Amino acid sequence: MSSPDLVEVADALYALTAAEFTSARDAAAKAAADKDLAKQIKALRKPSVAAWAVNLLVRRESEQIDQVLELAAGLRAAAESLDGEELRTLTKQRRQLTAALTTTARSLAREHDVKLTEATADQVEGMLTAAMLDPVAADVVRSGLVVTAFTSTGVSELDVPSVCAVPEALGHRASALAEPEPPGPPKLTVVSDEAVRRAEARERVHEATLTRAAAEEEAEQIAARIENLRARRLQLGGEIDELRRRLASLEDQVDEVDEDLDEAESAHDDALAEVADAVRELDAAEAALAAFD
């Protein structure tokens, strides 16, 4: 079981941006009261961009998330009695809700100078959809401790330890984050055209830097998935080879049984022929005996 201290520390860490996470986690581990807690804190994984966006969303829009997930729970219960057309309408409504929440997540990310790529936004929407379909996924999202993107339809069991920083604390609700103070009125100053162009160029560089960082993060995630898939493919290949060896062995056994069966059937035919001969001899002997009576 995880300690309350670990949940409290994790809740604070996963409220930070991905850029702030590692240094803050290491500092928290050094400041931990005991070695076991320090080890647990140090093991907390840095969230992917999509996971961070969902964690931010549930902290900034906790009431909206609760309303949507409570509605989803009711829809799941009602879905059992709906016909095909009603289910299609229900699916459309769910997609509209997740799309709206994803748009909100993108807006919140921009407040932190993080631009979500289309692929990352799709991952965010996938997690929100999973939360609407699967009550366990809903608890993971509500925890605000998501570490990587995931999907779920509620049919198969979600691998919570792989997607939640502190799986033993499932049911924890992320602490809400206050909306940042709006900036004051801008100071109006007269600037030269050159200064304007320089500022615009800096903004383009900034945007390009954010886009590159998001793309690099996405590429790292895809590379990790490729490695996992390659490892899984090797594992399955090994299992296939073992099954082929087993199949070949069984086929050899079948051939041996077929040979034994042929021999047994031939022996059976010979035995039946001997029985027939014996019956004929018996009949002849009985007839000869009867002739003396």
Q: What is the DSSP string of 4-21?
A: HHHHHHHHHHTTS-HHHH
Establish if 250 belongs to a structural domain.
no
Residue 105 lies in a domain: yes
Q: Residue 262: inside a domain, yes or no?
A: no
Domain holding 45, by residue range, is 4-177
Of 118, 144, 119, 140, nearest in space to 131 by CA: 140
What is the rounded distance in angstroms from the CA atom of residue 67 to the CA atom of residue 166?
Answer: 24
3-state secondary structure of 261: helix
Provide CB contacts within 8 A for 266, sequence distance 6+: none
Element (H, E) at 125: helix 118-133
The answer to whether residue 172 sits within a structural domain is yes
Out of 2-6, 101-105, 251-255, pick the least confident: 2-6
At 105 the pLDDT is 95
In a domain, 110, yes or no: yes
Instruction: Establish how many alpha carbons lie within 13 A of residue 155's alpha carbon, considering only the half-sphere containing its beta carbon.
Output: 1
Asked if the structure places residue 227 within a domain, the reply is: no
Find the Cα–Cα–Cα–Cα dihedral 93, 104, 76, 129, rounded to 10°. Answer: 100
Question: Does the structure show a pLDDT above 50 at 197?
Answer: yes
pLDDT one-digit tens code per residue, 129-161: 999 999 999 999 999 999 999 999 888 899 999
Provide the number of structural domains found in the chain. Answer: 1
pLDDT of residue 182: 57
Q: Please, which pLDDT band fits residue 1 given cuts at 50, 70 and 90?
A: very low
Q: Is residue 137 part of a domain?
A: yes
Residue 108 domain-assigned (yes or no) = yes
Over range 118-129, report the average pLDDT: 95
